[in-house]
Amino acid sequence: MGHSLGVLGAGIALHEGVAAERFTAISGLTSVRVTTDGFVRGSGLPWALREAFATAAQRYGLPDHPDVYERFDLLGRTVPASVPTLWLHDDGDRVNPHHLSVQLHEAHADSSELFTTTGLGHNKILGDRAVRSRILDHLAAPAR
């Protein structure tokens, strides 16, 4: 299970071979590119500095996979289809827009479902009773 940036990390871990029976993703991000672009916009940095920021981020790549933007992209490096995935997102999330989970669901269409809420935003979704119930149902579902 992951929330926000944790969705990206957990999803990539699954793509790279970490074993799991199910995956629950709440208010997730699609990629490091989306994350860094959001940081540049949100911090008020001039958009012209975006590429300098991107170049600096590349230093965190691994020798066998130096392109951070390619490695950490859940639209291109998907969760295995053998891992049923539940994407949960609020349609009014102002931190990570809802369309990110729509894109993730579409990229994983054969093995996922999307659960959309209204009025919970980015953090209240975590404490919502209906959301918790949906997560528990997903986690308790019989194995394929």
- 51-64 confidence digits (pLDDT tens): 777 777 666 655 66
Residue 133, pLDDT score: 97
Number of domains in the chain: 1
pLDDT tier, 24 (very low <50, low <70, confident <90, very high otherwise)? very high
**Res 32: pLDDT:** 87
Mean pLDDT, range 90-105, rounded to an integer: 97
Give, to the nearest 10 degrees, the angle between helix 32-43 and helix 5-15: 160
d(CA 136, CA 87): 13
Region 101-130: what's the mean pLDDT?
97
Strand positions, DSSP E, the chain: 2-3, 23-26, 85-90, 112-117
Q: Is residue 38 part of a domain?
A: no
Counting DSSP H helices and E strands in the chain, the numbers are: 6, 4
CATH number at 23 reads 3.40.50.1820
pLDDT bucket at 17, cuts 50 / 70 / 90: very high
- For residue 79, the enclosing domain spans 2-31+72-140
Within-domain flag for 65? no
**Looking at per-residue confidence, does 38 or 88 come out higher?**
88
* pLDDT classification of 111: cutoffs 50, 70, 90: very high
Measured at the alpha carbon of residue 75, what is the angle toward residues 87 and 8, in degrees to the nearest 5? 60
Residue 56 lies inside a defined structural domain of this protein: no
> Does some domain include residue 58?
no
Of 29 and 51, the structure prediction assigns the larger pLDDT to 29
| Type of residue found at 98 | H
